[in-house]
């Protein structure tokens, strides 16, 4: 699933690629990924352009020219955005296997721009969506998301309150987008490792020092992952045709059975937690 750093990388790439380009047409190949009526969606966007691209957590928020409406794009588990201009291809989102020809069976919506470029919304499992909303509803949408690492609302006072009287497992808490937005499976594992706390601990069992370590780790990991263009494993390329390379900096995720890079005294273990494969060092993390 694309997480905050991957979605932010996509946002920056699209900002360089599609801003202020008129949309000449749209192909809607599977209307189930739309949260609006298909014909209205297409007719509303034709001849308009994208005037700004923002993000909240993993949600992309595109400003539509005219200012009255916004286009929301959420990639969920397996969504992709693929921008094509001639031989230039920018892909971001889920790590699907070799893209092959476009459109393909995963292509559900295709935006066509005045310069001949195209933006494909692909989704293997079709949990992702596109939705046009009134601009006045923006705050209502953003209020559904919790504090976000790197955002002005990510303050120590707000972060520590999240842990008060919570009996849930730490990983479940960190994955809860209504409490902390943007973190997903990969980065929660990495945050817990950096903070030296096991992800299966009860949130209520953590000391103030451990919560502070998690707070600092969230900021460090997300900032570094954004700088490295996110974590990718196969065909992703950003606007500058560069792959996300935070993969090279992962300490626990995907390293089950391998020696811990920090203590070198234990192998990384993998368990099932919050419905996700979860990685940690049994020696380093308490």
Per the annotation, the verdict on 5 as an active-site residue is no
Answer yes or no: 190 catalytic: no
Cα distance between residue 116 and residue 128, in whole Å: 25
Residue labelled with tokens 């595109």? 62
Q: Which two tokens stand for residue 256?
A: 């089950």
Active site residue 12: no
Which string of b and e fits 75-103 if b means at least 16 CB within 10 Å?
Answer: bbebbbbbbbeeeeebbbbbbbeebeeee
Residue in 12, 229, 237, 276 annotated catalytic: 276
Quickly count: other Cβ atoms within 10 Å of residue 155's Cβ: 12
- The residue from 3, 6, 8, 148 that is catalytic is 3
Element at 7 (helix H, strand E): helix 4-17
The sign of the CA dihedral 10, 16, 19, 25 is negative
Tell me how crowded residue 41 is: count the other CB atoms within 10 A of its CB: 20
Which candidate in 55, 58, 171, 198 is catalytic? 58
Catalytic-residue membership of 160? no
Residues annotated as catalytic are: 2-3, 58, 276
């Amino acid at each position: 699933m694309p997480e905050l750093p991957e979605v932010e990388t996509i946002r920056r790439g699209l900002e360089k690629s599609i801003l202020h380009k008129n949309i000449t047409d749209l192909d809607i190949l599977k209307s189930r990924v739309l949260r609006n009526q298909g014909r209205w969606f297409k007719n509303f966007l034709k001849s308009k352009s994208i005037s700004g691209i923002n993000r909240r957590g993993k949600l992309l928020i595109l400003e539509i020219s005219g200012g009255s409406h916004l286009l929301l794009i959420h990639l969920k588990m397996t969504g992709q955005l693929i921008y094509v201009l001639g031989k230039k291809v920018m892909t971001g989102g889920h790590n699907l296997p070799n893209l092959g020809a476009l459109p393909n069976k995963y292509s559900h919506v295709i935006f066509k721009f005045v310069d001949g470029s195209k933006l494909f919304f692909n989704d293997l499992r079709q949990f992702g969506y596109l939705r046009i909303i009134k601009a006045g509803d923006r705050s209502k949408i953003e209020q559904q998301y919790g504090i976000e690492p790197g955002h002005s609302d990510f303050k120590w006072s707000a972060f520590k309150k999240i842990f008060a009287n919570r009996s849930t497992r730490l990983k479940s808490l960190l994955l809860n987008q209504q409490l902390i937005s943007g973190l997903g499976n990969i980065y929660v594992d990495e945050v817990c490792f950096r903070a030296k706390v096991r992800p299966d601990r009860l949130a209520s069992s953590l000391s103030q020092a451990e919560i502070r370590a998690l707070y600092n780790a969230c900021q460090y990991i997300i900032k570094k992952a954004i700088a490295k263009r996110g974590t990718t494993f196969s065909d992703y390329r950003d606007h500058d045709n560069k792959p996300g390379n935070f993969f090279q900096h992962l300490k626990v995720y995907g390293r089950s059975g391998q020696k811990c890079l920090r203590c070198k005294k234990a192998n990384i273990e993998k368990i099932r937690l919050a419905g996700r494969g979860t990685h940690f060092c049994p020696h380093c993390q308490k």
